[in-house]
Amino acid sequence: MSREFSMDRRAYLATVGTTATVALAGCSNNGGGTETITPGTAPGFQPFEFQDGSELVGFDIDLTAAVFEEMDGYELADWETFEFGSLIQALTSDRIDFIAAAMTINDGRDETIDFSDPYYSANQSIIVRADGSFSPSELGDLSGRPVGAQSGTTGEETIQDELIANGELEESNYTSYDNYVLAVEDLENGNIDAIVIDEPVGDTFANQRPVEVAFIYETNEQYGFGMRTDDDDLTTAVNEGLQTVRDDGTYEDLTAEWFGS
């Protein structure tokens, strides 16, 4: 998505990105009682996080900045970027301290990391080529078709749990991608017939590329920020900051800015 930023927003984000410089990733204390937190994300998931030229932007990026602005004793280092499927390992190995990547809270992930309170609710959308003849209206219609999703996402889980596990789709008909940009390119080129993807991201691709949303599959999933299981103080501070930006209207403003609602 190409959009204009206000000078205040650009200046603020630039300030956040330069408030702390650390030689190594991972949290550090700079001697003044302030803990420096290294955030991580997975670009290519517009409008949540993506590259706009050389700048990392998106709803998650702005929301994280707003939350940390309200947190006493913490400041953000520069963002580190990974493929989505590598984020939890980066967190548990101390390469980063905080995940903001439209990550769905689920039992499997919650066994390894801690989540903040939920900050966004979403379903899965199924997108197809806009000029194609394939028009599915339910998951069962994907049976026997080549389909794709991003590795490690709930879109992939939906395909595996609801189609492959039930024998409605052969493993050979499923392609896993490092990111959804590659999946959409394959869809456009006719290499796959459908993609299962988080609803807001599917809408963004449909607005920008020759693809369209065929139908919505309701999963009622919720996104949360991820932190290590032993970072209880950070988790508490993030939840308090998140509640503050909800209460003061910042969350509503960011939602309107990025999702138009």
Q: What is the CATH number of the domain that holds 67?
A: 3.40.190.10
The confidence band for 15, taking pLDDT boundaries of 50, 70 and 90, is very low
4 falls within a domain: no
The confidence band for 260, taking pLDDT boundaries of 50, 70 and 90, is confident
Of the chain, the percentage scoring pLDDT greater than 90 comes to 85
| Cβ atoms 57, 6 nearer than 8 A | no
How many domains does the chain divide into? 2
117 falls within a domain: yes
81 and 198 in a single domain? The answer is: no
16 falls within a domain: no
Residue 211 in tokens: 């693809």
205 and 228 in a single domain? The answer is: no
User: What are the backbone angles phi and psi of residue 222, rounded to the nearest 5°?
Assistant: -125, 140
Instruction: Report how far residue 39's alpha carbon sits from residue 80's, in angstroms, rounded to the nearest whole number.
Output: 6
Averaged pLDDT, 152-178 = 95
| Cβ atoms 213, 126 nearer than 8 A | yes
Q: Which residues contact 136 (CB under 8 A, 6 or more apart)?
A: 126, 128, 142, 145, 194, 214, 215
pLDDT at residue number 203:
93
238 and 109 in a single domain? The answer is: yes
227 falls within a domain: yes
147 falls within a domain: yes
Amino acid at 98: F
Instruction: Report how far residue 97's alpha carbon sits from residue 180's, in angstroms, rounded to the nearest whole number.
Output: 25
69 falls within a domain: yes
Strand positions, DSSP E, 20-89: 28-29, 35-37, 39-41, 50-52, 55-57, 74-76, 80-81
In Å, what is the CA distance from 200 to each residue of 14, 34, 73, 94, 117? Answer: 26, 35, 33, 30, 20
112 falls within a domain: yes
Domain encompassing residue 78: 35-121+222-259
232 falls within a domain: yes
143 and 191 in a single domain? The answer is: yes
200 and 151 in a single domain? The answer is: yes
54 and 171 in a single domain? The answer is: no
Query: How many angstroms from the chain centroid is the CA of residue 96?
Result: 16
* pLDDT tens digits, one per residue of 166-192: 999 999 999 999 999 999 999 999 999
> Among the residues of 162-225, which ranges form H helices?
180-188, 199-208
165 and 181 in a single domain? The answer is: yes
In DSSP terms, 176 is beta-bridged to 149
The confidence band for 28, taking pLDDT boundaries of 50, 70 and 90, is low
The confidence band for 29, taking pLDDT boundaries of 50, 70 and 90, is low
Instruction: Report how far residue 233's alpha carbon sits from residue 231's, in angstroms, rounded to the nearest whole number.
Output: 6
102 and 151 in a single domain? The answer is: no
Instruction: Report how far residue 164's alpha carbon sits from residue 185's, in angstroms, rounded to the nearest whole number.
Output: 23
